[in-house]
Amino acid sequence: MNALADALVRLLQQHRLVKTVRVVNYDETPAGKVELKIRCRLAGRYQLQVWLHHEPAFQDYAYQLFTNRPLLRWDNSPHYPDIATAPHHFHNEREEVGPSPLTGTPVQDVRYVLDEIEQWLSKESDSLTV
């Protein structure tokens, strides 16, 4: 795998939320194109998927927390041009779409996503004990 994929796998393996990491798809061409899909099992029934399509001139990404349905999603598909951070945007658990602070820098972005998931899971846990 290339350095970016290795760095992402290491980051995920070392994070306290992540129980297992599995590279589902990895493809790299001599021209520098990389397709990467990683699935991580988190606590309980939660999973995180990391998807990257990287080429020298651009990069698409999608990060998703899910169970049997999507819960939290960050991506840069150009579907919401009116959002201030377009193409970067966030889908919450109510399927509302809003701005995202992600920048398309995968290692930095995945750290942010993991922090946000950790906060979200903490709130979910608190709401179950109330």
Q: How many domains does the chain have?
A: 1
Query: Which pLDDT tens digit goes with each residue over 96-114?
Result: 999 999 999 999 999 999 9
C-alpha to C-alpha distance for 75 and 97, rounded to whole angstroms: 11
**Strand, helix or coil for residue 121:** helix
Answer yes or no: are the C-beta atoms of 74 and 48 closer than 8 Å.
no
Alpha helix ranges (H) inside 38-105: none
Record the pTM. 0.92
Q: pLDDT (tens digit, 9 = 90+) per residue, 114-123?
A: 999 999 999 8
Task: Give the residue carrying structure tokens 């927390």.
Answer: 65
Q: Tell the residue number behind the tokens 């080429």, with chain if given.
A: 55
Please give the mean pLDDT across all residues of the chain: 94
> Binning pLDDT at 50, 70 and 90, where does residue 6 land?
very high
pLDDT at 32: 84
What separation in angstroms does the CA of 103 have from each of 31, 50, 78, 122, 124? 23, 15, 14, 25, 27
Q: Which domain holds residue 119?
A: 3-129
